[in-house]
Amino acid sequence: MANSPWAEIREKFQAALALSRVELHKNPEKEPYKSKYSARALLEEVRALLGPAPEDEEERAEAEDGSGAGDLALGVPAEVVEVEGPAAQAAVRLAVLEFHLGVNHIDTEELSAGEEHLVKCLRLLRRYRLSRGCVSLHIQAQNNLGILWSEREEIETAQAYLESSEALYNQYMKEVGSPPLDPVEHFLPEEEKLAEQERSKRFEKVYTHNLYYLAQVYQHMEMFEKAARYCHSTLKRQLEHNAYHPIEWAVNAATLSQFYINKLCFMEARHCLSAANVIFGQTGKILTTEDSTETEGDVPELYHQRKGEIARCWIKYCLTLMQNAQLAMQDNIGELDLDKQYELRALRKKELDEEESVRKKAVQFGTGELCDAISAVEEKVRYLRPLDFEEARELFLLGQQYVFEAKEFFQIDGYVTDHIEVVQDHSSLFKVLAFFETDMERRCKMHKRRIAMLEPLIVDLNPQYYLLVNRQIQFEIAHAYYDMMDLKVAIADKMRDPDSHIVKKINSLNKSALKYYQLFLDSLRDPNKVFPEHLGEDVLRPAMLAKFRVARLYGKIITADPKKELENLATSLEHYKFIVDYCEKYPEAAQEIEVELELSKEMVSLLPTKMERFRTKMALT
């Protein structure tokens, strides 16, 4: 190295790093990688100035690798070997160049060449990978290979590289512990070397990236528990080291909440969502600070989109918590079971007593003021299942607030599917709130609100392009009318002498429910309008439920015309019989509608006798 123009090498290397950091959009439109190619040329010049790896280092690397580049052992080393002597230092500097060349080629979408350079980097470092001078570089090279193999969808290979990085970090922290050198320091004079604190910060950031990539790999491999654990650790570390982008962090935390919601871990889900709100709030401050004259319309679209996405995660939290409570308290016909409600009230004290110990076990985000800010948001939101109307209403109003927030961005023009899903969630919030309501008239009004928000969607949607969504909405509207009719019948049953107005209302609701169930069933027909002989798994249960409810609806029509009533009973029998016959032909379908099948068999047995008595009565009169 004494004969090498060391100052020129350092200068070219720093220039290459500066060019590597230039954002693509700052390059000419027709040459998006211009700065990358310029950086590559400088890196190759530096490599030429350094010369080839010393022969003894090259031979040792080849010997330790066995068969070479394609067979790198990924295990942790048995001992720490420090970088000592000119030959070792030259090998490490070449490894730094190979690393940057590898990343450069990956950035320009030349993956095979990128892989080759990164593998050379690992080969040169292999002997020293647990040393202070090389551990960070080795982990970064493996992280990049992990990403590369992940992009090739070779997930197990990616997993091997990333888990090797994690193991190396843990071994280094256990056996050495002091902050290692950052790779750039191999091209810095002694007086410009980084302080220990900066080294530690950079090394911890490298490890955080490693955990982040592992979380994605585990998610891809459907190892969801592990993916969530690594994602949680990543987010926690990003806050600890103040190394995060507020919007990205908040969306990742809100997304993680969905895992906890699916696991019914509502305390953890609430914590993730509360943290997302607090951190996302920092974005608003940043936008205001950067340009206080900026109007609402100038705020980046991405900000509003991410805000809407976080709002949708909150909606799912409120809805799932309410639905979970409903499942725990309903009887076999879907009504509130007072005994179950009483039992859950008795369990509430135990749940509250366990809260503190559960909280301590959970991974908490932030410390100091940030922790206090997150707790302040959490305290306004319940995580225990609501046990009465007032508790459910509290969650409903929170969910509805986020529905309005989500709809600000996800509008029908431009975001059709997202908008519809938000409206369907809003409808579901009303539906589950109605379960907790004891006043039948108020329950009717809630179902009416559902219909009012869902019916306009049918008008706006082209069934040719949105067939599945159309079916979902048709079925949901039909069910809302069906529930309203049941409630009106129950109200009428309590009256001594129901007036013509309520009879007319019952029949009107019945007719509307029949209309939408029939629209749903007709959507299953082929182009020749023939109903399928065999129903697919995805539509089997809803189709059978529709048939069952249509049968029941015809039996509930109130009419003074005996002939019309007999026709209605015949139509009802026809639909009940369809269910029984279908399950006899396809026995596997029976398990999808066990309750409805038993009732259908019963009605197929009873209705002919009832109809015969009716005919006899008609003949006599």
Residue 548's pLDDT band (cuts 50, 70, 90) = very high
Question: Taking residues 116-134, what's their average pLDDT?
Answer: 93
Q: For the chain, what is the largest distance between any 2 Cα atoms, rounded to a whole number of angstroms?
A: 123
What pLDDT was estimated at residue 293?
39
Of 19-23, 170-174, 254-258, 418-422, least confident by mean pLDDT is 19-23
Above 80 in pLDDT, residue 621? Answer: no
List, for residues 393-421, the tens digit of each pLDDT value.
Answer: 999 999 999 999 999 999 988 899 999 99
Above 70 in pLDDT, residue 309? Answer: yes
The tokens 């089997």 sit on which residue? 540
What pLDDT was estimated at residue 367?
78
DSSP string, 251-299: HHHHHHHHHHHHTT-HHHHHHHHHHHHHHHHHHHHHHHHH-TT--GGGS
Question: Taking residues 259-281, what's their average pLDDT?
Answer: 94
- Residue with the larger pLDDT of the pair 75 and 558: 558
List, for residues 241-255, the tens digit of each pLDDT value.
Answer: 888 999 999 999 999
Residue 296's pLDDT band (cuts 50, 70, 90) = very low
Residues β-bridged to residue 330: 336
- To the nearest whole number, what is the mean pLDDT of the chain? 88
Contact present, 409 and 304 (Cβ < 8 Å): yes
Distance CA(371)–CA(278), nearest Å, equals 10
Question: Taking residues 42-64, what's their average pLDDT?
Answer: 72
Question: Taking residues 425-449, what's their average pLDDT?
Answer: 96
Q: What is the dihedral of CA 498, 500, 504, 506, to 10 degrees?
A: 0
What pLDDT was estimated at residue 332?
75
List the one residue out of 315, 530, 583 whose CA is nearest residue 426.
315
Question: Taking residues 503-526, what's their average pLDDT?
Answer: 94
Of 58-62, 173-177, 297-301, 433-437, least confident by mean pLDDT is 58-62
Assigned token pair, 454? 């869902």
What pLDDT was estimated at residue 494?
84
Above 70 in pLDDT, residue 356? Answer: no
| Helix, coil or strand: residue 132 | coil
CB atoms within 10 A of CB 421: 17
Contact present, 151 and 110 (Cβ < 8 Å): no
Domain 79-178+196-244 has CATH 3.90.226.10: no
Residue 222 gets the label, from left (phi > 0), alpha (psi -120 to 50) or beta, of: left
- Spatial neighbors of 256 by CB under 8 A, at least 6 apart, are 228, 231, 232, 235, 272
Distance CA(512)–CA(20), nearest Å, equals 65
Distance CA(75)–CA(78), nearest Å, equals 9
Of 129-133, 460-464, 538-542, least confident by mean pLDDT is 460-464
Residue 3's pLDDT band (cuts 50, 70, 90) = very low
Residue 80's pLDDT band (cuts 50, 70, 90) = low
Residue 578 gets the label, from left (phi > 0), alpha (psi -120 to 50) or beta, of: alpha
Distance CA(578)–CA(600), nearest Å, equals 9
What pLDDT was estimated at residue 86?
81
List the one residue out of 531, 599, 523, 607 whose CA is nearest residue 568.
607
- pLDDT > 90 in the chain, percent: 65
Q: Kindly state the helix (H) or strand (E) to which residue 7 belongs, with its residue range.
A: helix 6-20
What pLDDT was estimated at residue 179?
95
Any idea how long the chain is? 621
Residue 59's pLDDT band (cuts 50, 70, 90) = low
Distance of CA 113 to the CA centre of its chain: 34
Assigned token pair, 470? 């159309």
Of 121-125, 178-182, 254-258, 344-348, least confident by mean pLDDT is 344-348
Question: Taking residues 608-617, what's their average pLDDT?
Answer: 87
Residue 361's pLDDT band (cuts 50, 70, 90) = low
Above 50 in pLDDT, residue 70? Answer: no
Distance of CA 77 to the CA centre of its chain: 38
Domain spans in the chain, listed from the N-terminal domain onward: 79-178+196-244, 246-286+300-438, 444-530, 532-620
Q: Which 8-state DSSP code applies to residue 381?
A: S
DSSP string, 192-212: GPPPHHHHHHHHHHHHHHHHH
Q: For the whole model, what pTM was predicted? A: 0.84
- pLDDT > 70 in the chain, percent: 90
Residues β-bridged to residue 337: none
